Amino acid sequence: MSEDSVQKTIAQIREEYQAAQLQMLPEFISAYRQDTRAGVQKLTAQAERKLQKLEEERARMVRMTEYERQYAAYTYVCGVDEAGRGPLAGPVVAGAVVFPKDCELLYINDSKQLSAAMRTKLFSKILSNAVASGVGLATAETIDEINILQATYQAMREAINNLGIIPDILLNDAITIPDLRIRQVPIIKGDAKSMTIAAASILAKVTRDRMMEEYDRMYPGYGFAAHKGYGTKEHIQALRKLGPCDIHRKTFIKSFL
Mention every residue, 6+ apart, whose C-beta is less than 8 A from residue 80: 94, 95, 96, 156, 159, 160, 170, 171, 172, 173, 177, 197, 200
What pairing do the DSSP bridges indicate for beta strands 92-98 and 77-83? Answer: antiparallel
168 belongs to an annotated ligand binding site: no
> Is residue 81 marked as binding?
yes
Phi-psi region of 69 (alpha: psi -120 to 50; beta: other; left: phi over 0): alpha
> Where is the binding site, in residues?
81-82, 173
> Where is the binding site for a divalent metal cation, in residues?
81-82, 173
